[in-house]
Amino acid sequence: MSVRRKLIAGNWKMNGLKAQLGEVSAIAPLAAGRADIDVALFLPATLIAAAAPLAGDVLIGGQDVHQAESGAYTGNVSAAMLVEAGAGGTLVGHSERRAYQCESSADVAAKAARAHGAGLMVVLCVGETLETREEGDDAAHAWVVDQLLASLPEDADPEWLTIAYEPVWAIGTGKVATPPQIAAMHGALRAALVEKLGEAGEAMRLLYGGSVSGDNAADILHLPNVDGALVGGASLTAAKFAPIIAAA
């Protein structure tokens, strides 16, 4: 089995003003001390340019990117704009964007391809709703595998693409998926990636996200096929993010 470097990533969502940049400065040395893992922060677009010079080894990324190169898309941010601001990556397909911005898996695949074309690394998010989970584990696995395959860009490669499994019912709820649930879903996603991409599917990182905290990170990060975490609320301060980095 290939060795997959762990990635601990924070997603600040629609939180953070310049007053919070001190947290980026405080997270930077936590990553500098850890040559064995990668650390990333996906920030509001308005903070990227100011955060990048403070971030040291922490990769700064955006939370979404438009699939078009440029044009009449009011309110959107292009891949070239993210790069110019100092971003090294972006999230695509977060469940909040799929739900509130009605983004389809085809949109997500196009966004990932556009971001890669501009030189950004990409964390592509997938995950089932509570309704689907309540249909049973097998139904949930099949649903998320289908969503992943429909969201994968043509040239998916672990060099630049990471997958994040985030059950919608575990996001911001404090209701973390159980270790057996996470291990089973990640096993299903790994099998699908290997079937589709061969060795590249074996090497692709699979992050877990959904109410990850300093209290549960160690149990989650040691599961098979869990190659890191995508952290929302607990990434907003260095004090809460530090124990998750330490657990990796």
| Sites of contact with ligand 13P (CB under 6 A) | 11, 94, 166, 171-172, 209-212, 230-234
Radius of gyration of the chain (CA): 17
Three-state DSSP state, 229? strand
Three-state DSSP state, 125? strand
Q: Which residue is nearest to ligand 13P (CB)?
A: 232
Say how far apart CA 162 and CA 91 lie, in whole Å: 9
Say how far apart CA 194 and CA 178 lie, in whole Å: 24
State the sign of the Cα–Cα–Cα–Cα dihedral 174, 112, 237, 76: negative
Q: Which is nearer to ligand 13P, 47 or 230 (CB)?
A: 230
- Which one is catalytic: 23, 96, 128, 166? 166
Least distance to ligand 13P from the beta carbon of 99, Å?
11
Q: Which is nearer to ligand 13P, 164 or 193 (CB)?
A: 164
Q: Which is nearer to ligand 13P, 203 or 217 (CB)?
A: 217
Answer whether 174's CB lies under 8 Å from 157's CB: no
Q: Which is nearer to ligand 13P, 107 or 166 (CB)?
A: 166
- Which one is catalytic: 66, 94, 141, 186? 94
2: buried, middle or exposed (CB in 10 Å: 19+, 13-18, 0-12)?
exposed
Q: Which is nearer to ligand 13P, 37 or 200 (CB)?
A: 37
For the question of residue 116 being annotated catalytic, the response is: no
For the question of residue 186 being annotated catalytic, the response is: no
Query: Strands 7-11 and 38-42, how do they pair?
Result: parallel
CA-to-CA separations, 186 to 14, 64, 190, 216, in angstroms, rounded: 28, 24, 6, 17
Least distance to ligand 13P from the beta carbon of 71, Å?
28
Least distance to ligand 13P from the beta carbon of 97, Å?
10
Least distance to ligand 13P from the beta carbon of 229, Å?
8
Answer whether 86's CB lies under 8 Å from 48's CB: yes
Least distance to ligand 13P from the beta carbon of 72, Å?
29
- Active site members: 94, 166
